[in-house]
Amino acid sequence: MDSRQRLIETTLGLLRSQGLRATGLNQILKESGAPRGSLYHHFPGGKEQLVIEALRAAGDVIGARIRDAVEGERNAATALRRFTDAYAADMRQSDYQQGCPIGNAATDAAATSPAIRQVCDEVFASWERSIARSLERQGFESKQAAALAEFTLSSIEGALILCRARRSIEPLRRATQHIEVVLSTAQRRKRRR
């Protein structure tokens, strides 16, 4: 792995476990083993640029997992369950140390870094579009699909916070069940029209 990639992956791991504000360049350099010169060579904008690229990379990786889940499955609720089951297993395996890097960064950046906040918004929006497209394929019109996708994402983000506070995957499991209720209720109402 080249030093650019090592810097990005180290930053991402720290963003997932300890958030944006706790993550400093010295720790990133130390844990990645990358030389200081390479940091300023690859990321002349310093920490903010490095964080933004790490968040975009995480957005792509998690976005691909969401797409894999929804494209392999006709039913959005089944896809959602497959995705959250895998996420719950990861969370348990990390001993609840690893939250959502975008959710963590958004929490920290909202009041402090407009550029990072905006990247978080863009990544959330791209995940929502994947979920929404899957709902459109199931017959939802685009406006409702977008609203349901946003709710699905925000419920999962909130459940991850409770999972970490509680050291349990139950909040994520229960959020998944309740999101399924919302999706199937919306489906039934759609049919009735």
Query: Using the rule CB under 8 A, which residue among 108, 132, 169, 187 binds a copy of itself?
Result: 108
Site for a copy of itself in 126-155 (CB under 8 A): 147-148, 150-151, 153-155
Indicate whether 22 belongs to the interface with a copy of itself (CB under 8 A): yes
Please name the amino acid found at residue 178. Answer: H
> Would you call 74 exposed, middle or buried from its count of C-beta atoms within 10 A (0-12, 13-18, 19+)?
exposed
DSSP string for 15-49: HHHH-STT--HHHHHHHH---HHHHHHH-TTHHHH
Indicate whether 103 belongs to the interface with a copy of itself (CB under 8 A): yes
Query: Using the rule CB under 8 A, which residue among 10, 104, 134, 187 binds a copy of itself?
Result: 104
> Would you call 182 exposed, middle or buried from its count of C-beta atoms within 10 A (0-12, 13-18, 19+)?
middle
- For residues 148 and 128, the answer to whether their CB atoms sit within 8 Å is no
* Least CB distance to a copy of itself at residue 150 (A): 6
- List the x/- string, 154-183, binding to a copy of itself by CB under 8 A: xxxxxxxxx-xxxx--xx--xx--x--xx-
**Where does this chain bind a copy of itself (CB under 8 A)?**
17-19, 21-22, 96-99, 103-104, 106-108, 110-112, 117, 120-121, 124, 147-148, 150-151, 153-162, 164-167, 170-171, 174-175, 178, 181-182, 185-186
